[in-house]
Amino acid sequence: MLRKTVFLTWAVVLLAALPAAAGEKIVLRVPGGRLLHAAEHGRLQAESFVPAARETFEMVSLAEGRVAVKAPEGGWLAVDAQDDRTPRLDTAAKPGPRETFELVPVAGRSALRARVSGELLAFPPAAAGPQQTAATGGRAPAGPAPLSAVEIYRIRELPAILQTGLPALVRGLAAKELTGKEYDKTRKHKVEKFIDLPDPTLKDLTRTKRHQVLGLTEEYRLQAKLDGEADIRLLDMPLLTSCCKGGSGLMLFAVQASLPVQGHVQYRVPDAASASTGYHTTVWLAAVAEVPLERAGKDVTVGSPRLLDFRVSLVHLKLSNDLLEMARRQIERFVNHELQRNDEKLREQANRAIKKALASHEVRLPLLGYLGLLE
């Protein structure tokens, strides 16, 4: 009888220590919005803003409220043996002390605390993909880069009514922002060229003097408007929720658009030359936006959208005047420059369309009702 009791006790202990058969789908996110995925030799990298198969990990519950995280293609999340904070992957058959973590709330988000060190998992910013350095004037910050805490989110699917309703609303509102609006700007660009010619003196036989050989002002006028229906697609709308009770969440929007544009472009050098032509082009853009979701008791507040990634460029440029074909490169450069100059305005329009869609009666009521049930 005693032997049977001891055997059952050990069986219970062993079963409690083993991971469950299936876990929850989660993502690991660094500040700035990029998601971690497995790289070579157990390293982790952060590139994408939207979870795909390689960014989708599995969180498995262990004994005593601890958890382990399994990588998509096998292996377990672990802390690096060198610093006990940086995450990496190992090939252990099952989670040990270095692969065991505790879920902790940090500023409304969820993070992982390593069992072996009691430290929060953190990630070097330099390994998290391209970073913006506008605050430092384009220069890298002085000194070693600080580690950034890794956030952990569950991946949820939106209900069918929102998956079908939201894309239609966003497309309609974005088209409304663009239809009937005409862009008309004139820019001037000064062109100067110099050469150094010999200008010797008795004291300095090698002296040179700079002479201007070209000095003119180029003037471009660009007019543009939407020419047809914009093709706006919401490619993905994952919902990321906190792994700790009462924490905040995020809704992500991956948007891609193709905008047919027509207009008129004029190139002029005052008192010298002038030419103009009509054109057709396609403006392609891709963006990823996040919408913060905050809990206040049983209520859920939908915050303002924020673009995480934004890319815009010309796909085709067709000129109706062969005389300006020789200036195609300058025209393309000018149009792309105008797109870059209007980057902030385009971001504001995209954020405004998403915000209006989420504030609409058709979306807000089912969305808040659905989010209120999430724990």
Residues 6+ apart with CB under 8 A from 306: 289, 290, 291, 292, 351
Nearest by Cα to 101 from 80, 118, 86: 118
pLDDT number for residue 55: 95
Contact between 34 and 49 (Cβ < 8 Å): yes
* pLDDT at residue 201 tops 60: yes
Of residues 160 and 133, the one with the higher pLDDT is 160
pLDDT tens for residues 10-65? Answer: 333 333 333 434 578 999 999 889 999 998 888 899 999 999 999 999 999 998 88
CATH T-level fold of 19-129+144-154? Trefoil (Acidic Fibroblast Growth Factor, subunit A) (2.80.10)
CA distances from 94 to 10, 70, 91, 120 (A): 18, 10, 9, 21
List the beta bridge partners of residue 289: 253, 307
Listed by start position, the domains of the chain span 19-129+144-154, 160-187+225-371
Q: Which CATH class is domain 160-187+225-371?
A: alpha beta
pLDDT number for residue 19: 40
Nearest by Cα to 147 from 82, 77, 242, 50: 82
Of residues 95 and 82, the one with the higher pLDDT is 95
pLDDT tens for residues 226-268? Answer: 888 888 888 888 989 888 876 778 889 888 888 898 888 887 8
pLDDT number for residue 47: 92
pLDDT tens for residues 158-181? Answer: 777 777 777 777 777 777 777 777
The predicted model scores a pTM of: 0.73
- Count helices and strands in the chain by DSSP H and E runs: 5, 20
* pLDDT at residue 115 tops 50: yes
Tokens matching residue 291? 């919408």
pLDDT number for residue 31: 85
Q: Measured between alpha carbons, how far apart are the two ends of the chain, in Å? A: 44
Domains 19-129+144-154 and 160-187+225-371 share a fold: no
* pLDDT at residue 316 tops 70: yes
pLDDT number for residue 372: 57
pLDDT number for residue 58: 95
Q: Which amino acid is at 140?
A: A
* pLDDT at residue 292 tops 70: yes
Nearest by Cα to 36 from 51, 15, 17: 51
